[in-house]
Amino acid sequence: MTWIGSLIALLDKKWNRESDSFSRRKGMGVAALIIFLASTVLIAWVLQSTLLWLPLGLLIVAVLGASLPAQKSLEQHVAAVALALERDGIEGGRKAVSMIVGRDPEKLDEAAVCRAAIESLAENFSDGIVAPSLWLGLLGLPGGAGYKAINTADSMIGHRSARHEAFGWASARLDDLVNLPASRLTGLLFVLSAFFVKGASPREGVNAIFRDARHHRSPNAGWPEAALAGALGFALAGPRSYGGQMIEARFMGEGGRRDLTAADIRQALKLTRVADAMLICFFGVIAAVIAL
**Where are the domains positioned within the chain?**
2-291
Stretch (H or E) spanning 247? strand 245-247
pLDDT tens-digit map of 75-103: 999 999 999 999 999 999 999 998 888 77
Instruction: Give the whole-number percent of the chain exceeding pLDDT 70.
Output: 95
What pLDDT does 287 receive? 67
| Ranges under pLDDT 50 in the chain | none
DSSP class of residue 215 equals: G
248 CB-side CA count, 13 A: 0
Contact 257, 233 (CB under 8 A): yes
Paired strand residues for 245: 242
What pLDDT does 241 receive? 65
What pLDDT does 239 receive? 76
- pTM exceeds cut of 0.85: yes
Rg for the chain, CA atoms, rounded: 20
Distance CA 248, CA 254 (A): 14
